[in-house]
Chains A and B, each alone.
Chain A
Amino acid sequence: MTQLPQPAAPLRVPPAVILGLIAAIVLDTAVQMLWKHIVLAIPSSAGLAQTLLAAASQPAAWILLALFLAQFFCWMIVLAKADLSFIQPITALSFVTVAVCSVFFFHERLGPLRAVGIVLILAGVRFISRTDHRTAPLGGHKKDSNGECATVGLSDRANGQVHKDNKEAAP
């Protein structure tokens, strides 16, 4: 019985990336709810500069700042492990969680046009995000003297272990 050639296994997304993405969506939603809460507490008659000052002087602004820091470290960890154009569209799922929470907390009206728009954005996000979590840089593959394909990728550059024939690619 002849063996059919096995398709190459798809690149697995590391668990750290998956956990980071979930944390990013939860943090995104919390940030937007708290932010709108802060701005709603300021009279709408306030000018632009007044509004910024009033927002910054609220105690809740410190909690917002703490959430920003959490978001920052979350991003740095995930970005070190995966492509920006892979991560970013997935965290856009927070468009749904933010819309639902804004109806719940602030009684905002989610009309059909807005809902359809969000669904279209999510469809776009689905199209954008269906790629491997890490791609080679453009023109990143070079043949070495043995005719084997070497990847001049991120790990090679960071290691400083670039193959002799690829010296020109080193920083």
Chain B
Amino acid sequence: MTSDRLLGIAFVLAAALGEAVGHVIFKNAADRGHRPEGILASLRAALAEHGHIAGGLAAFVLDILFWTLALKFLDVSLAFPLSSLSLIMVVFLSRLWLKEKISPRRWIGVALILIGTVFVGLS
């Protein structure tokens, strides 16, 4: 494995973490803004959560910078499947932070994704 590839994978991991944190922050904002009367009302209420939106955007800006560097070193068909590691990070973050229930079935999924990303990383 070349050092270019290792560097690229490190950037993918950094970007994936930024993406996972950003998604969970936005979900938190959307939950607080949830309105039964419609999509637009929900969106307005969610956008009123300034702190969450700013934090989420900051996480996505980091995601963008790291992903650009990841694509400098890696094929997109290698880097993009590796970004599925952010799904695993999201499962952990939704469990710890949003208190969503994670079923045993989902933990099997987490294990399969982990094995899959190892295959892709070695390809």
Contacts and interface: CB of A to CB of B under 8 A. Distances in A.
Nearest to A113: B123
A88 B23 contact: yes
Given A127-B105, A127-B109, A130-B105, A80 B116 contact: no
Contact of A32 (B35, B76, B106, B109): B76
A123 B123 contact: no
Interface in B75-123: 75-78, 80-81, 84, 87, 90-91, 94, 98-103, 105-106, 108-123
B100 A117 contact: no
B43 A77 contact: yes
A114 B43 contact: no
Interface string B21-32: 001101100111
B46 A116 contact: no
Contacts of A51: 68-69, 72
What secondary structure prevails in chain B residues at the interface with A?
Answer: helix
B51 interface: no
A84 B39 contact: no
B25 to A, nearest CB: 10
Q: Which of B39, B72, B108 has the most CB of A within 10 A?
A: B72
A37 to B, nearest CB: 9
Contacts of B43: 73, 76-77, 80
- Going nearest first, the 3 A-B pairs with the smallest beta carbon separation are A117-B119, A124-B112, A120-B116
Interface of B: 23-24, 26-27, 30-36, 39, 42-43, 45-47, 60, 64-65, 67-69, 71-72, 75-78, 80-81, 84, 87, 90-91, 94, 98-103, 105-106, 108-123
10 contacts: A35-B68, A80-B33, A80-B43, A102-B75, A102-B80, A110-B77, A111-B123, A113-B119, A113-B123, A138-B101
